[in-house]
Chains A and B, each alone.
Chain A
Amino acid sequence: MARFLARRLLVAIPTLFGVATIVFFIVRLIPGDPARVMAGEAAGDDVVDRIRANFGFDQPLPVQYARFIANLLRGDLGRSIRTGDSAVNEIVQRLPHTIELAVLATVLGALIGITFGIVAATNRGRPIDVLVSALSVSGMSLPTYWLGLMLVIVFAVNLRWLPAAGAEDPRGVILPTVTLAALSTALIARMSRSAMLEVLGQEYVRTARAKGVSGARVLLGHCLPNALLPIVTVIALQFGALLGGAVLTETIFSWPGMGRLLVDSIFARDYPVVQGCVLLFSVGFILVNLLADFLYAVVDPRIRY
């Protein structure tokens, strides 16, 4: 198992380099003089020069790239233009909020999604199955940001049950979690349904039924464990995708996480922080995918790469 994990990690290294390269070029895409754009119209030449020197824009591109990678390997993303604090610090402060939201949304999505999937599969073709299918297509087509706004209007503006924004009130986590969980719930329900349908047709399920095992035990003890592999995959992939989805959800609910920091930093042209956020989101996504591969091997001992 350790060797398998080590090999997968090794394969991820070129991808990480590639991601770092793209993040490097984000700033170099800026039309005109990037240092001037970052400093803003009103800034004096000294500020512009300082930013230029900081990013190394006055040096040849290969030198800039080598410096960027070298700094990155030392965990140095530069200083935030807005606050002067190190970009890494700014991001690390926000990270727990984003992880909290992603974990809660994943748990919620998995609980509801798997339940819906099992119910739909065991009632194949009945109205409840059709309803679950319709709900999951809707969930996949729903613009997250719109769902968030609607929840705010209903539960915060009209009913005044829950706060509309912020993380100070502990109840403030409810609406963003539900918003973020909608898409995962839909995808997990869909995957659970088809995985369960596959297993329900197997011989051993019929055998279990024939020897008198109770319905619930057959479902949860015999079917679910065997249907778990694709479900675990989709849950892990969704957890990674939630990190990206957090950008919109956090903006709607003024949630003090990394997604909102990213958007704020783009508006403030605070590119060191932008680079750091994009980098961390992608690295998180890659690591979660690795974890999914690893979970494969745990859930299904036959799988070895």
Chain B
Amino acid sequence: MATLDSTMTAAATRQSPRRASLWRDMLRHPSALAGLAILVMLGLACSFGPLLSGQDPTTQNLSEALLPSSAKHPLGTDGLGRDELVRLLYGGRYSMLLGLAAAAIGIGIGLPIGAISGYYGGRLDLVVQAVNDVLLSFPGILLALSLVAGLGVGLQNVTIAVAISSIPAFVRLARASALSIRELEYARAAVAIGQTKPRIVLLHVIPNSLAPVIVQASLQVGTAILVAAGLGFLGLGVQPPTPEWGSMLGDSRNYIFRAPVLSTYPGLAIFVVVIGFNLLGDGLRDVLDPRLRR
């Protein structure tokens, strides 16, 4: 209970003292730490690895196709003679940036809509909820897949599709927070001293619903990466020769008999990155929301 009290007073006395303890709590939490470590390492590898290698991820060299691993090509080469490790490192940039961008757009649109809908209530809330329910009734990858079927494939359209399909989760979450914040003392006090509704939403509702949103954001980046790579795997995502993990995995199916090992790497990369975001999200949940601590 002590943690709960301190969180609440910290929230009341603005952010700065809380931030330091938040970092400390996170570094002490095993799964947050593990997730963070995985993501930092992968992030560094994908940012700087390609620079060190000096190889181009798209230049084909058919005389070196499907080579096993060697000193020159640590993970071997793919069906068109391109270095698998270099392509994986470049691919990580696409997969991770795509996941982060999609989640960021999802928050940018979903959080304000959810907060306004929950705080204002009434007819507006009914309409927003109805639309959100519709978006939530497309299971899994289906909404993104449908959007891509209409918009067409490619990096930009896939990012849009995955971003749109991550909006409803944030709307629902922000709305739920806004509903409870609306009844809290400080929100009522703000009404009493005559603050306008938009101001209250901006200064009180949104900042105070950030904790669950941040947790969801971490989990959502993982989901976004899985969905985007799934589209790539189907051939409906980022298109070759761009080295994206999903499309690399889809491509590896052509060599499943001759070089089955090519199917291992991109999938393992996706798996590890998503585990990183899921562990981080689980850890953040415990740290940011002590009431849910198990």
B271 lies within 8 A of A26 (CB): no
Let me know if A152 is at the binding interface, CB within 8 A.
Answer: yes
- Chain A residue numbers with a CB within 8 Å of B236 are 263, 266
- Chain A residue numbers with a CB within 8 Å of B294 are 194
Categorize the interface residue count of chain A: 35 or more
Contact residue among A147, A194, A247, A286 (Cβ-Cβ distance under 8 Å from B142): A247
Let me know if B130 is at the binding interface, CB within 8 A.
Answer: yes
Interface of A, helix, strand, loop or mixed by DSSP = helix
A15 lies within 8 A of B275 (CB): no
Given A23-B146, A143-B226, is A15 in contact with B263 using a C-beta cutoff of 8 Å?
no
Chain B 146-198 residues near chain A, CB threshold 8 A: 146-152
Let me know if A177 is at the binding interface, CB within 8 A.
Answer: no
B140 closest partner in A (C-beta): A244
A26 lies within 8 A of B146 (CB): yes
B234 lies within 8 A of A251 (CB): yes
B137 lies within 8 A of A286 (CB): yes
Chain B 224-244 residues near chain A, CB threshold 8 A: 226, 229-230, 233-236
- Chain B residue numbers with a CB within 8 Å of A149 are 249, 252-253, 256, 263, 267
Interface of B, helix, strand, loop or mixed by DSSP = helix
Interface size on B, residues (CB 8 A): 46
Let me know if B279 is at the binding interface, CB within 8 A.
Answer: yes
Let me know if B131 is at the binding interface, CB within 8 A.
Answer: yes
Report how far A158 CA is from B226 CA in the complex, Å.
Answer: 27
Interface residues of B (CB under 8 A from A): 130-131, 133-135, 137-142, 145-152, 222, 226, 229-230, 233-236, 249, 252-253, 256-257, 260, 263-264, 266-268, 270-271, 274-275, 278-279, 282, 294
Given A141-B222, A146-B249: 16 more A-B contacts, CB < 8 Å: A19-B134, A26-B147, A29-B150, A143-B226, A143-B271, A145-B249, A153-B256, A157-B260, A241-B139, A247-B141, A266-B148, A271-B149, A274-B149, A281-B139, A282-B142, A285-B139
